[in-house]
Amino acid sequence: MKKIAVLTSGGDSPGMNAAVRAVAKKAIYHDLEVFGVYRGYEGLMSGEIKSLKLEDVGGIIHRGGTILGSARSEKFKTEDGQLQAMNNLNNFGIDALVVIGGDGSYRGAQALHKKGIKTIGLPGTIDNDINGTDFTLGFSTAVNTVIEAIDRIRDTATSHERTFVIEVMGRDAGDIAAWAGLANGAESIFIPEKTTGKEGMIARLKQGFERGKKHSIIIVAEGVGTAEEFADYIREHSSYDARVTVLGHIQRGGSPVGFDRILGTRLGAKAVELLMADVAGKALGLEKNEISVHDFDYVFQKKASKRLEEFSKLSMELSM
């Protein structure tokens, strides 16, 4: 293995740059040639592949987003698209590829691996929805962003004795909602992993306000519905008004927290080490603070939600 490429794909996440930097620097340290593929699989098909030098990855460890850009490509899901990508990789003499992205990006990496390119996947998504890793790259930063945003909303909620329903990201996973909910002391959390009736929310609202509480924060993971639906339910079933905030894309950006910088760095460096040892067709993660190495098929399985159920129950117990 002499030439290695790296790309970022799917939704961007804070810490991707730390991983790109680590891949590039570790490869250069071991006298390998390293290439950056711009705009994910789209760029892989159109040949947007450039040599990465040390100066290209300097001063990026603290930056959110991805310097390589990201994209979604329907064409890459087809045989034609993948052959086009293979052609470009072969033309550059690239024999190994590190893909930083989510579940969809991993499927692309697996397809290329089956066609003969040595691939390693790194879990880059704020959603924390990938099996085989306790944390995905960007999740910790996103949780912190949500916590800060809700702290601000709580100031207003308290001043005006209001109920706020806040919708957070996570696709089908409730991780961001459950973690931020616990850290914010939310009154109710709704996540896809645990069915909780809306009736309980009304009872808890009443109890809280009767006891003299000055606010109520309800966090809704986007995977269970919209904040607006929950606010409508509150208006229809109680005398309380409810304000809605959809946090949206502020959750994806921002400078990565220390944990994501270190996770990205460890994952990126390990990817190069494994490729040098001829290990490929694997997805890396972090389990019990060790870098884990799993087959792609293993990480495609649904992630266990035990921790989220525990968090949801604990939030409920503590939010009296």
Binding site for ligand ADP (CB under 6 A): 9-11, 41, 72-73, 76-77, 101-105, 107-108, 111, 125
81 in a known ligand binding site: no
* Bridge partners for 219 per DSSP: 166, 189
Q: How far is the CB of 103 from ligand ADP (least distance, A)?
A: 4
104 in a known ligand binding site: yes
Q: How far is the CB of 12 from ligand ADP (least distance, A)?
A: 9
> In sequence order, which residues have a C-beta less than 8 Å from that of residue 229 and are 6 or more positions away?
none
Q: Quick one: DSSP state of residue 216?
A: E
**Cβ proximity to ligand ADP, 170 vs 181, nearer residue:** 170
Number of residue whose CB is nearest ligand ADP? 104
Question: Rounded to an integer, what distance in angstroms lies between the CA atom of residue 94 and that of residue 112?
Answer: 12
23 in a known ligand binding site: yes
Q: Quick one: DSSP state of residue 133?
A: -
Question: Which of 12, 31, 95, 127 is flagged as catalytic?
Answer: 127
Q: How far is the CB of 216 from ligand ADP (least distance, A)?
A: 33
265 in a known ligand binding site: no
**Cβ proximity to ligand ADP, 127 vs 187, nearer residue:** 127
Q: How far is the CB of 138 from ligand ADP (least distance, A)?
A: 10
Question: Rounded to an integer, what distance in angstroms lies between the CA atom of residue 270 and that of residue 246?
Answer: 37
Residue 127 is among the residues annotated as catalytic for this protein: yes
Contact 302, 131 (CB under 8 A): yes
Start-to-end Cα distance in the chain: 59
How would you class 197 by CB atoms within 10 Å of its CB: exposed for 0-12, middle for 13-18, buried for 19 or more?
Answer: exposed
**Cβ proximity to ligand ADP, 125 vs 128, nearer residue:** 125
72 in a known ligand binding site: yes
**Cβ proximity to ligand ADP, 171 vs 194, nearer residue:** 171
- For residue 166, the one-letter residue type is I
Looking at the chain, the number of H-run helices and the number of E-run strands are 11, 11
List, by residue number, the catalytic residues.
127
Annotated binding site for ATP: 11, 72-73, 102-105
